Amino acid sequence: MAKQTYDALIIGAGIMGCSSAFELASQGLSVAVLEKSAIGGGSTGKSSAIIRQHYSNEVTARMALYSLRVFQRFREVVGGEAGFRRTGFVVLTPEKDLWGLQANVKLQRELGIRTELLGAAEVRHRWPYLEIGDLVAAAYEEESGYADPNLTVQSYAVAAKARGATFHLDTQVTNVRLAGGKIQGVETTRGAFHSPVVINCAGPWGARVARLGGVDAPIESCRVQVAFFRRPPAFEPDHPVVADFKHAVYWRPETGGLTLVGLIDPSEKDAIVNPDRYRETVDFEFVADAGERLVSRFPAMEQGQGAGGFAALYAITPDWHPFIDEVPQGSGFYLCAGFSGHGFKLGPAVGRMVADMVLGQTTEGIDRRLFRLSRLEENDPVRGRYEYSIAG
Ligand SMILES: Cc1cc2nc3c(=O)[nH]c(=O)nc-3n(C[C@H](O)[C@H](O)[C@H](O)COP(=O)(O)OP(=O)(O)OC[C@H]3O[C@@H](n4cnc5c(N)ncnc54)[C@H](O)[C@@H]3O)c2cc1C
218: nearest Cα among 316, 313, 327, 314: 316
Rounded to an integer, the average pLDDT of 105-124 is 95
Rounded to an integer, the average pLDDT of 285-306 is 95
Rounded to an integer, the average pLDDT of 109-129 is 94
Strand ranges, E, within the chain = 8-11, 31-34, 50-51, 85-86, 89-93, 115-119, 137-141, 145-146, 166-168, 173-179, 182-188, 191-194, 198-200, 220-230, 241-244, 249-254, 258-263, 305-316, 323-326, 333-337
What is the share, in percent, of the chain residues with pLDDT greater than 70?
A: 97
Cα–ligand 1 centroid distance for 45 (angstroms)? 7
Angle in degrees, CA 174, 175, 176, rounded to 5 = 140
pLDDT tens digit sequence for 357-368: 999 999 999 999
Q: Hey, whose CA ends up nearest to atom 5 of ligand 1? A: 48
383: nearest Cα among 75, 59, 166, 38: 59
For the Cβ of 44 lying below 6 angstroms from any atom of ligand 1, the answer is yes
Q: Hey, whose CA ends up nearest to atom 19 of ligand 1? A: 343
Ligand 1, residue 44: give the atom nearest the CA.
Answer: 21
d(CA 219, CA 314): 9
Res 97: pLDDT: 85
Q: Which of the listed residues 15, 43, 222, 310 should we mutate to test ligand 1's pocket, taking the one with most ligand atoms within 8 A of CB?
A: 43
Those residues with Cβ within 8 angstroms of residue 319's Cβ, 6 or more apart along the chain or in another chain: 375, 376, 381, 382, 383
Cα–ligand 1 centroid distance for 204 (angstroms)? 7
Pairwise pLDDT comparison (240 vs 233), residue with the higher score: 240
For the Cβ of 201 lying below 6 angstroms from any atom of ligand 1, the answer is yes
Q: Hey, whose CA ends up nearest to atom 35 of ligand 1? A: 12
Strands 198-200 and 333-337: parallel
Ligand 1, residue 17: give the atom nearest the CA.
Answer: 25
pLDDT tens digit sequence for 173-230: 999 999 999 999 999 999 999 999 999 999 999 999 999 999 999 999 999 999 999 9
Measure CA 84 to chain center: 15
For the Cβ of 209 lying below 6 angstroms from any atom of ligand 1, the answer is yes
Cα–ligand 1 centroid distance for 154 (angstroms)? 14
Tell which phi-psi region holds residue 205, choosing left (phi > 0), alpha (psi between -120 and 50) or beta. alpha
Res 2: pLDDT: 54
Res 223: pLDDT: 98
Rounded to an integer, the average pLDDT of 93-107 is 89
Measure CA 88 to chain center: 18
pLDDT tens digit sequence for 333-342: 999 999 999 9
Res 386: pLDDT: 66
Rounded to an integer, the average pLDDT of 260-268 is 92
Instruction: Grade residue 383 by pLDDT with cuts at 50, 70 and 90.
Output: confident
Q: Is the per-residue pLDDT at 389 higher than 80?
A: no
Q: Name the helix (H) or strand (E) containing 317.
A: none
Q: Is the per-residue pLDDT at 78 higher than 80?
A: yes
Cα–ligand 1 centroid distance for 98 (angstroms)? 32
DSSP of 221-286, one letter per residue?
Answer: EEEEEEEEEEPPGGG-S---EEEETTTTEEEEEETTTEEEEEE--GGGGG-B-BTTB---SPPHHH
Res 40: pLDDT: 98
Cα–ligand 1 centroid distance for 40 (angstroms)? 7
For the Cβ of 50 lying below 6 angstroms from any atom of ligand 1, the answer is yes
For the Cβ of 314 lying below 6 angstroms from any atom of ligand 1, the answer is yes
d(CA 333, CA 325): 9
Q: Is the per-residue pLDDT at 1 higher than 60?
A: no
53: nearest Cα among 323, 243, 252: 243
DSSP of 168-198, one letter per residue?
Answer: E-S--EEEEEEETTEEEEEEETTEEEE-S-E
pLDDT tens digit sequence for 122-149: 999 999 999 988 787 899 999 999 999 9
Pairwise pLDDT comparison (94 vs 69), residue with the higher score: 69
Rounded to an integer, the average pLDDT of 40-53 is 98
Cα–ligand 1 centroid distance for 44 (angstroms)? 4
Ligand 1, residue 343: give the atom nearest the CA.
Answer: 19
160: nearest Cα among 32, 65, 325: 32
Res 266: pLDDT: 86
Biggest distance spanned by C-alpha atoms of the chain = 67
Q: Name the helix (H) or strand (E) containing 59.
A: helix 58-72
Mean residue pLDDT of the chain comes to 95
145-146 β-sheet, strand order:
50-51, 145-146, 85-86
Res 387: pLDDT: 67
For the Cβ of 347 lying below 6 angstroms from any atom of ligand 1, the answer is no
Cis previous bond, 328, omega within 30: yes
For the Cβ of 338 lying below 6 angstroms from any atom of ligand 1, the answer is no
